[in-house]
Each structure stands twice: as structure tokens, then as C-alpha cells.
Amino acid sequence: MWRTLFTLFDSYGPIPRLLFDLFLPAHHYRTGMVEDGAEKDDENLKNRIEEYRDELKGKIRTAVTLHPDIVLPTEYGVNSSHTIYTMRPSKSKMYQYVSTRPVYGLATARIGRMIAEETIAISLKDAQRLYDFLLGQGATKTSAGWVFEARMHQIFQRGGPFKATNLGRSKTIAVHIDHKSCKDFSRVSELGSLLRKEPGSRSINPDIIGRYFKPQRCNLPSVDSFVIAECATTGGPVLVLFQMTVSTEHPVKTEGLASIWAVIPEDLRGTPPILVFVVPAANKDGFKRQSISGSANQTSASRRSASNPPDFETWKQYVLPVSDNTLWESDM
């Protein structure tokens, strides 16, 4: 009970109706005739807290939509316990108990976070409307692709398993990305030292397994980002290359793949890398295996920089569909 009391005070402040429900639960559950009375009391309190939170969210939604100067005066003298803001006297050197200028603040830190969450939700809705508009126009579809890529970087950095389906087969894999700080880099040449246990080593740095890698200012030649994950078949490390696109066709440049292959540690070459195309869910059914393109001269020059160059056409390709709900959910 005391833990619940602390949580209520810390989240919402001293709200009479919630305290009443906490200390004076429904009497017919306290008759001793019902064995699961305590569980019903707990469920009753949970429901009451949920009701209060839903009503508070509605008030917060109004508060963030309107200007605070409009909302603040309506907070006082109103018969409502859904307190968002508090008002206290300002400190004065002349008067200890009298103040002519109030100081406004948030009722609790939890309510402050709820306000932030609602503000972000409104901003995301506006961003989604703009994204949908850009996506629907042929001349601005490229811009929609940039928005899609930026959102996916944020989603991948949160970590978690992401399911991808083999292009041409029904086999599905789960790509695991850890919730670690993202590793940024400026040039492909930097990856040689970032991925290795020691300079010049054949071994992978174990700290980077599961960590999300993305370039700081621009894309890699053929992909947008990558992660070194655990291969479900061999149990060893495998390089998973991500390419985000809002189109149904996105050829991959051979020279870009070759430049990445040239710098990765030898121990990472035991299992062929995987290409994962990240697309809007609406494009999944129409998305087919993509071609590997590049001129013969470019391919030959790039391959000379790597020993035992692979046949990039044999690398497995997967598609990872992303729903609008996932794309635009809050990052908080």
C-alpha cells in the first residue's frame, strides 16, 4: 500500500479520488465472504487509476494544443482534480507571506513527461502528414525517402528484433540490434579499425556485435547502415547491410559492396553478408530481388582491393516491411 501511495503522489500529486480508492476500497470486497477480495480491490484501484490517467491525458492534449497563457488561468478555481500546473507565491525580500506575482510550475515530473509525450505525438502526426504528401507525389518521392530513412535510423537505434523475409522464399529471420549507443563513422576506410579487435587483427571486436552502425553525414555507396548480428544457422557473426527505400526497385552498386568487403575483418567473411531492404509495409508484396549493378571497370578495380572477392549476386536478400504505426510511434 505504501509503495502504491508513493507512486500516486510521485506521478499525479495528492489526488483525493485516488487516495480515497486506495484507503477505502469497495466495502463488499472486505466482508470476508470473497476469497479473492484483495485481488478485486487491486483491480478496482487499477481501473480507477486508468480512468484518471485517460481524463488527465485529455486535459493535457488540450493544454499542449492551446497556448499556456490561455490554459493557465483556467487551472484555478475550477472543480477538477486533474491538476497539470501548480501556482505558488514568488519569493520576495520585502514580504514573507504576501506575493503579487505567482510562479507557475508542473504538478509532477510524471505529468511533465506526459506533456512531452503528447507534444511529440502531435509533432509526429504533422510529420506523418507531410511524409504522406511527399510520398504521393512523383516529384517529391525522393524527399519522402529521406524522411523514411531518418525515421528508420531512430527506430533501429532503439534496438530490438526486426523480422525480415527472404526475397524469393518464405523463410523469415530475426535481426537483433542491441539498445546500445549508435556507432557513427565518416568514411568506409574507418571501418577497418572500428570493427577489429586490434589494428590489423583478423578478429572482430566483440563489443560491436549487435551495435548499429551508420555514417555521420552521407550514405555508404550501396547501403544506408549495418549491424553485425549472430547468424541463426552457424551461430557465428554475420554482416547485415540495410538499404532503406520507398521504391519497389533499388539496384545495389557492386563497387559499394566491394569497398565494404575490402575493410571487414577476415573472421567476418566466413558467412556471406545479408542485404536487407527496409521498405514501407505497403511495398512488401511488390518488392522483388534487386539487381546488383556496376560497370566492369569499377567492379574489377574495387575487387582488387579485397582478397578472395565474393560473387555479390549470391548474397541473400531480404525485405523488412515497416508499418505506419511503427514508423511514426513515439521515440520516448
- State pLDDT tens for residues 269-322: 988 999 999 999 999 999 999 999 874 444 444 444 445 568 899 999 999 999
Same domain membership, residue 145 and residue 127: no
Q: Is residue 63 part of a domain?
A: yes
What pLDDT, on the 0 to 100 scale, is given for residue 220?
72
End of a domain among 101, 135, 169?
135
Same domain membership, residue 160 and residue 291: yes
- Write the pLDDT tens digit of every residue in 177-217: 998 778 888 788 889 889 998 888 889 998 899 999 998 76
- Alpha helices per DSSP H over 66-167: 68-71, 109-135, 141-157
End of a domain among 109, 135, 161?
135
Q: Is residue 290 part of a domain?
A: yes
What pLDDT, on the 0 to 100 scale, is given for residue 123?
87
pLDDT-derived band at 56 (thresholds 50, 70, 90) equals confident
Same domain membership, residue 196 and residue 85: no
Same domain membership, residue 231 and residue 108: no
Question: What's the domain count of the chain?
Answer: 2
State the residue range of the domain holding 82: 1-135
Same domain membership, residue 278 and residue 176: yes
Q: Which residue has the higher pLDDT, 17 or 236?
A: 236
What pLDDT, on the 0 to 100 scale, is given for residue 244?
95
Same domain membership, residue 145 and residue 131: no
Q: Which residue has the higher pLDDT, 69 or 126?
A: 126
Q: Is residue 52 part of a domain?
A: yes
Q: Is residue 332 part of a domain?
A: no
Q: Is residue 231 part of a domain?
A: yes
Whole-prediction pTM value?
0.71
Q: Of 252, 256, 269, 306, which is closest to residue 195 (Cα–Cα)?
A: 269
End of a domain among 80, 101, 135?
135
Same domain membership, residue 174 and residue 124: no
Backbone angles phi, psi at 205, to 5 degrees: -70, 115
Same domain membership, residue 173 and residue 103: no
What pLDDT, on the 0 to 100 scale, is given for residue 229?
93
Q: Which residue has the higher pLDDT, 122 or 274?
A: 274
Q: Of 293, 156, 332, which is closest to residue 229 (Cα–Cα)?
A: 156
Q: Which residue has the higher pLDDT, 270 or 162?
A: 162
* Contact status, residue 144 vs residue 246, Cβ threshold 8 Å: yes
Same domain membership, residue 154 and residue 120: no
Same domain membership, residue 111 and residue 38: yes
Three cell numbers written together for 152 = 528508420
- Whether the per-residue pLDDT at 50 is higher than 80: the answer is yes
Three cell numbers written together for 304 = 582488387
Same domain membership, residue 165 and residue 268: yes
Same domain membership, residue 186 and residue 119: no
Q: Is residue 150 part of a domain?
A: yes
